Structure formats: structure tokens, C-alpha cells
Amino acid sequence: MSDWMCTGCGKVYSTDQMLKLKLVKAVESDTNPHQQHGFLSQCTCGHVLMRDEWSKHSSVLIVTEDGYNTFTVLVNSWFIGLNHKFGDGPDQFYETIVEVPALEYEKTFRYATQADAETHHAEILEKIQNGEFRLIPRIRYEFNLTEDE
Ligand SMILES: [Zn+2]
């Protein structure tokens, strides 16, 4: 059930098929790939799987609703190579992770195509700019139990 996609030609390989493909150095300039970056599978079309794949990285500042705090929101999208689909669901070869590191917030979205990933990546950035993606401060109360003497 593990499918790997070549973005060069769109061919999909099972893990067994992918492991039988020709191996090439992960980094061309490596002089000893066994001790450096290792090897990657090369599709019959010539494309090296998981090398030079599409990705998009954005960083946006967001101010909390009360205006007191500013946090960095990271929006990272990329081709993940291995299909992450569930059962008979749609293919999931791409993902976007929205992250607010200071708040340990993280949300993952997955897509079948690069076009879907690019569209949703842009939509997320737009929602942050339009204020549809908001950070609402939580108020915490602390109590001390004291007794009058
Ligand atoms: Zn290919």
C-alpha cells in the first residue's frame, strides 16, 4: 500500500518496485556517498526521486487579538514522495504544515496534487492576512488560598 510517485513523469511505484530502481548519489558532489548523503532511487524517466522536489516556505507575523503579542506563523508545503492516503481516500502526495512554534501549535493538511497544495498554501496565507486565522489569548487565573488569622 506504500506508493511512491515520480514527479518527473507521474509514474507510481510500490516500495518493492522503488527499491529495485537504479540508485544514484543523493548529492552529485559527494565523494563517498556511503558516509555522506547516501543514495536515492532514479526513475526510468531519469528523475531522481525525492531530489529537487517542489516545496514552498512562508513565514508570517501574527498579532494576537488583544494586540499584546506577536507570534511567527510558519507555513511550509512540500512534496512528501510517499502517498499518505487512508484506505480508499484520495491520494496524499503533498502536505502543508501550519506551525506556531512558540505556542507548540501545528496542523497538517494533505493533498493529491501540487496545484492543490499551492492553492491551499496561498489560502492559508490569505486567511492569516485577513484575520480569519486568529490567535485568541487564553486568560489564566491563579489563586492563592489564604486564611485570615
Ligand atoms: Zn519518472
Q: Tell whether the model's pLDDT for residue 132 goes beyond 60.
A: yes
Is the pLDDT confidence value at 137 over 80? no
Q: What is the pLDDT of residue 144?
A: 78
Q: Which residues contact 87 (CB under 8 A, 6 or more apart)?
A: none
Ligand 1 centroid–CA 64 distance in Å is 45
CB 64 within 8 A of CB 73: no
Q: Ligand 1 centroid vs 76 CA: distance in angstroms?
A: 25
**Span of 45-49, 68-72, 114-118 with lowest mean pLDDT:** 68-72
d(CA 3, CA 81): 8
- Distance between CA atoms of residues 142 and 57, nearest Å: 39
CA of 94 to the centre of ligand 1 (A): 17
Q: How far is the CA of 39 from the centre of ligand 1 (A)?
A: 17
Q: In a 3-state reduction of DSSP, which class is residue 63?
A: strand
Query: How sure is the predictor about 135, in pLDDT bands with cuts at 50, 70 and 90?
Result: confident
Alpha helix positions (H), 1-149: 15-19, 114-130
Tell me, in angstroms, the distance from the centre of ligand 1 to residue 53's CA.
Answer: 12
CA of 9 to the centre of ligand 1 (A): 4
% residues pLDDT > 90 (the chain) = 73
> Which residues neighbour ligand 1 (ion) by CB within 5 Å?
6, 8-9, 11, 43, 45, 47
Whole-Å CA distances, 14 to 1, 7, 40, 97, 117: 7, 15, 15, 25, 23
pLDDT confidence band for 134 (50 / 70 / 90): confident
138: enclosing H helix or E strand = none
